[in-house]
Amino acid sequence: MSRHPRRARTRSVVAATLLTLCGAGLTGITAVPSGATTALHEQRTTAFEDGETDYDSDGVGDFHDNCMYDANPGQEDTDNDGIGDVCDAPDYNGNDNDGDGFEDSLDNCVYTFNPDQTDVDTDGIGDACDDSNGNGGGGGPDYTDSDGDGVLDNIDNCPSVSSYDQTDTDGDGVGDVCDETGNPVDDDADDDLVPDASDNCPNLANQDQQDSDADGIGDVCDDTPLPDRDNDLVADVADNCPAVTNPDQGDRDRDGIGDVCDTYPDDRTNTPPSTNPLRALLSPVAGIIRFIGGRLPRGPR
């Protein structure tokens, strides 16, 4: 085969399946299969330099090949980054394959021109290249309606349960037909998944319903989470009448027993008069004094 760079072409017949080109320059090659009456003509101009190899045998010398290890005789390079399409990795370096003004790493349709980046179903795939199932490939946005109620999943307040009217009585964003509380009316003010009717702290979240003193008031909202049997807001351990309500804790004789439950609120010894010598002695005198005091005239007011 003759090779004449930048000169009039000459024709030579070479019976071979592998050609080795030597020398620098441009070469045109026409292949004629053995026994054929008509040449399968394909004119290709390829650049080679002295000693240059062609690793992928695509007719482009390695020094000039934009994909040296992957055959690409056409040298297509859509994004013009110097790397052929067949070996170009996903573009994250500021390139914009579709020329819509959005870098490929930020473009929701990398190979489809869509400068508005519209994505009706918010699935991350632009409408311009989103198929009907939301898997990409063109055809429009995702119109998935899992429960068949005519409301698209992305705006359906009960996407798995049919709810044509989208009623949401308590306004919590969950439709009545699938509201987890089981009651469309908001009967769980603290959102602890315990209905207010049975919640021992309806306004403070306490899903465990801990109630240490078993007074029906949960610890998180109980002023006295320690046991308080009489519910007078004084814990039993400090209550001078733990079984009788006495929030004022009155104790006249200061014997540690509250007046409301003290049999002898004026006697710190808590001894009956008949067994208390001092009280037995003074009781008659006290009676006389009270009697006389009641008979004496009162002074002017």
String of DSSP letters for 200-219: SSTTS--TT---TT-SSS-G
Measured from the Cβ of residue 288, the count of other Cβ atoms closer than 10 Å reads 10
Measured from the Cβ of residue 173, the count of other Cβ atoms closer than 10 Å reads 8
Amino acid identity, position 287: G
Per-residue pLDDT of the chain (301 residues; tens, 9 = 90+): 444 444 444 455 555 555 555 544 455 555 555 555 554 444 444 555 666 788 899 888 888 899 988 899 999 988 787 888 888 765 545 678 888 888 888 888 888 888 899 887 777 888 888 764 444 444 445 567 788 888 888 888 898 888 888 888 877 788 888 877 655 555 777 888 888 889 999 989 899 999 887 889 998 998 877 788 888 888 888 899 999 999 999 999 899 999 999 988 888 787 776 665 555 555 555 555 555 555 555 555 5
Could you tell me the pTM of the whole model? 0.25
Under 8 Å between Cβ of 154 and 142: yes
Torsion over CA of 82, 83, 89 and 95, rounded to 10 degrees?
A: 20
Cα 292 vs. chain centroid, distance in angstroms? 86
- CA–CA gap between residue 16 and residue 39 (Å, rounded): 15
| pLDDT in the model for residue 246 | 94
- CA–CA gap between residue 60 and residue 75 (Å, rounded): 9
Reference 81, options 95, 92, 101; nearest CA is 95
- CA–CA gap between residue 164 and residue 156 (Å, rounded): 9
